[in-house]
Amino acid sequence: MLADVVEHLICPVCADGLDRGDRALRCRGGHTFDIARQGYVSLLVGSRVPGTADGAAMVAAREAFLGAGHFGPLAEAVAGACRTGAEVACPAGAAVVADAGAGTGYYLAGALDRLPGAVGIALDVSKHAIRRAARAHPRLGAVVADVWRPLPVGSDSVDVLLNVFAPRNGAEFARVLRGDGTLIVVTPTSRHLAPLVERLGLLSVDESKERRVAESLGGHFLETGRGLHEFGMTLERGAVAAVVGMGPSAWHTDPGAMRTKIMELPETSEVAASFRLSTFRPRL
Ligand SMILES: C[S@@+](CC[C@H](N)C(=O)[O-])C[C@H]1O[C@@H](n2cnc3c(N)ncnc32)[C@H](O)[C@@H]1O
Ligand SMILES: [Zn+2]
């Protein structure tokens, strides 16, 4: 719930702390942000939502696919890395875990399950995603925010920051993390979703992705660990449609043509999941 994390949130207009009123968060300067019926708050100032926000259909596809457990081994790996990070930063257990580009809150909720007493802040620019994240875990507060702008999170307040297939802002990530905090970044490798990528003509991950991740964080973070996580999935056509619908190809393909291609697949497909999980600590 928002009440669990409001002490770590700041006003996106004046950067002052926020207090929780009946139906809104308020700073001392009088800036007020309504709490939505579904329990989340938008701390996005101005009306411009970046074009990268996931739409309703993408979020529904993501919830269906993740809910079926197909990426379960990755959620386990992320939760394990969060626990290690939290134990370093916060041995007493009351860690603050944030997720930048949290989507439906799936990975953050998995981490909170493994960290009794920790609280979570889900940040995403998509209202559709944040609405779902708001009910992903009882100790999670969900906030609409843009990773490309100053994050509405206090400096030095986060013990573990997650970033799973989502945009990165090295300077802001370093500001909100405590000096002994951990940043966990998950990116797909070029083998992710083989052989569907080729068979369906999906957007592929280019080989320079890893270099770009390092470049975007390099000035602010030092890499402390890196692991490859790969597993096989047996996907029925419905699950294939969901994984396509939740991914970047959903922006660029004609849905009718994609449906036809998916119907031409065998009843089930063997598909690879392949991710890189890297951990970083802030440069002091
Ligand atoms: C590929 S999804 C990953 C979601 C989640 N981490 C997961 O793996 O299930 C990318 C997410 O980043 C969000 N996003 C895109 N641009 C953003 C921005 N500028 N600020 C915050 N979130 C953003 C999208 O709305 C979407 O939920
Ligand atoms: Zn304010």
Q: What is the pLDDT of residues 98-141, one digit of tens each?
A: 999 999 999 999 999 999 999 999 999 999 999 999 999 999 99
**Residues 112, 136: Cα–Cα separation, whole Å:** 10
DSSP 3-state of 168: coil
Pocket mutation for ligand 1, best pick of 65, 106, 125 (most atoms within 8 Å of C-beta): 125
Whether residue 28 lies inside any domain: the answer is: no
Radius of gyration of the chain (CA): 19
Residue 138 · residue 118 · CB < 8 Å: no
Whether residue 15 lies inside any domain: the answer is: no
Whether residue 207 lies inside any domain: the answer is: yes
33 lines ligand 1 (CB under 6 A): no
Whether residue 6 lies inside any domain: the answer is: no
54 lines ligand 1 (CB under 6 A): yes
CA dihedral 60→66→67→73, nearest 10 degrees, is 180
Total domain count for the chain? 1
165 lines ligand 1 (CB under 6 A): yes
52 lines ligand 1 (CB under 6 A): yes
Whether residue 26 lies inside any domain: the answer is: no
Instruction: Provide the pLDDT for residue 122.
Output: 98
The pair of structure tokens assigned to 28 is 């001392």
- Quick one: DSSP state of residue 14? T
Nearest CA to ligand 1 atom 4: 103
The pair of structure tokens assigned to 50 is 């970046």
pLDDT above 90 as % of the chain? 82
101 lines ligand 1 (CB under 6 A): yes
pLDDT tens-digit readout, 11-54? 999 999 999 988 999 999 999 999 999 999 999 998 677 888 99
Indicate which CATH number applies to the domain containing 273: 3.40.50.150
Distance between Cα 28 and ligand 1 center (Å): 31
The pair of structure tokens assigned to 253 is 């393909």
Partner residues linked to 163 by β-bridges: 185
At residue 220's C-alpha, the angle toward residues 218 and 222, to 5°, is 60
Residue 186 · residue 164 · CB < 8 Å: yes
Residue range(s) defining the domain that contains residue 110: 40-282
Whether residue 35 lies inside any domain: the answer is: no
| Nearest ligand to the C-alpha atom of residue 124 | 1
Whether residue 9 lies inside any domain: the answer is: no
pLDDT tens-digit readout, 185-216? 999 999 999 999 999 988 887 767 667 777 78
Whether residue 4 lies inside any domain: the answer is: no
